[in-house]
Chain A
Amino acid sequence: MSLYIGVDSGTQSTKAVVLDLSEGRIIAEASVQHVLIAGLPAGHMEQNPQEWTVALDSVILELGAKIDRRRVRGIGVSGQQHGLVPLDAGCQVIRPAKLWCDTSTVKECELLTKKFGGVKAVIRKVGLPFLPGYTAPKILWLKRHEPGNYRRLRHILLPHDYLNLHLTGSLFMEYGDASGTALLDVRRRAWSCDAIAAIDKNLVDWLPPLSSSHEAAGKLRPALARKYGLSADVLVSAGGGDNMMGAIGTGNVVPGIVTASFGTSGTIYAFSERPVIDPRGEIAAFCSSTGGWLPLLCTMNVTLVTEGIRALFSWDHASFDQAVAGTAAGAEGLTLIPYFNGERTPDVPRGTGVLYGLNCGTLSSGHLARAAMEGVTLGMNYGLRRLVDLGIKPKEIRLTGGGAKSAV
């Protein structure tokens, strides 16, 4: 019966699976690593979009060799959120994409927030505050720092939209990923005139029209269909940001399910049938790619911290787990505030890790391992508690990401 290809274009790699829908199981997988541009100043995180399209072609060709390609009916793309892909009038990439983890745009956030008259006004009009990771300040950055490139700007896409353009030839944007631009009024799911005017009124012509998330971005381009050995009738769905697609892949499409993703950084998010706006701006008021909303908390310090402690004692994963298990819950009061990388929630970009509760009884590798594990979990739980404060009623937390298996 029908097969569907799902592609997740991440910062470190592109991963893809083939789903046999009637059997409800994954029958093939492929992945390719990619790199960030090296040698940029601190805070600048960039990648060549061509890196993603080459990886996309490569994983689809690899999967194609493992399956009956005639059965493939559709492709859906998940991409890293927030990245800015600036295109000229001919849809050519003007400069490398600034990524979600790029923090060179602190000044632009200040300028935009000031134009609105403060954070409260931004949240009232857009639904979420301007943060360095989001797309809007990256566009203003381009305008302020690279006027030559900015003059050529005619189309603005997010990473997964750029892959949809590669696959179908159409410029397309859906609500879920669009809500991470900070240009969308997330309550109404329409471009925010105020946010656009704060950067450049021409943006309204440079952003693709918004589509519902269940729509198709288009059919596979005939030349690409031939290259992949797939039917030219293969549909490319709207796709979405990685957290939006992660929600679908963990069944987080009805109220009550919460997804916690444990990677280098972590996210915790829940489907909602209504917009969930955080007056404090800590929970990102995103839209889902399933017709609803997806309030989300992002923390910068998860496996980065536990892996750091593991490396410090030259442990393998089993030894780390043993050290955690061998220490009582609560680590006898040893608390690790895990802000190794600064922190986004709560907003302390210059934060550092802090150990509290050291004494002769708690000064041990086991206590430190336990405190690291608990510290990152308490950090995620801060997000869960904020979600609950805003009306989410969690019944079950589903874990995903590289750190998930050992984390349970």
Chain B
Amino acid sequence: MADVFGVSVVAMVAGEAAALGGALHAAWCDSLSRGEKTDLVTLTNRSVAVSESTRCAPDRNRHALYSKAQVRYERLCQVLRPTFG
């Protein structure tokens, strides 16, 4: 997937990102309400973890191949568009 995007790709440790985000949002809001100048980034740095073992960096050759595939894909979409009605 990193080969398609051309950017490093990594999965999260926690499965439920939105629920974790809700909890962090509550922590942020609670802290601010008590007059603390808490930066949300400080909270996410402490509690949001990426799973380093899943990290993939893009391979230059395969990214070049997928860049061509992307052009073909988007051209096909363009050409097919009128046929979808």
Contacts and interface: CB of A to CB of B under 8 A. Distances in A.
Q: Which of A26, A76, A258, A405 has the most CB of B within 10 A?
A: A76
Given A382-B74, A408-B1, A238 B30 contact: no
Contacts of A243: 18
Contacts of A337: 73, 76-77, 80
A290 B22 contact: no
Given A350-B85, A395-B7, A24 B26 contact: no
A224 to B, nearest CB: 15
Q: Main secondary structure on chain B at its contact with chain A?
A: helix
Contacts of A382: 70, 73-74
Interface string B1-24: 111110111111011111111111
Contact of A258 (B7, B17, B62): B7
A237 B25 contact: yes
Contacts of A74: 26-27, 29-30
Interface residues of A, number: 85
B72 to A, nearest CB: 6
Interface residues of B, number: 56
A131 interface: no
A249 B43 CA distance: 10
Nearest to B67: A381
Contacts of A151: none
A237 B1 contact: no
Q: Which of B23, B65, B81 has the most CB of A within 10 A?
A: B23
A337 B28 CA distance: 42
Interface stretch (A15-23, A86-94, A105-113, A133-141): A15-23
A245 B26 contact: no
Contacts of B85: 350
A26 B14 contact: yes
Nearest to A356: B76
Given A239-B22, A348-B81, A397-B8, A249 B17 contact: yes
Given A15-B18, A76-B25, 11 more contacts: A4-B30, A6-B16, A19-B20, A74-B29, A76-B22, A214-B32, A248-B25, A251-B50, A348-B77, A350-B84, A374-B69
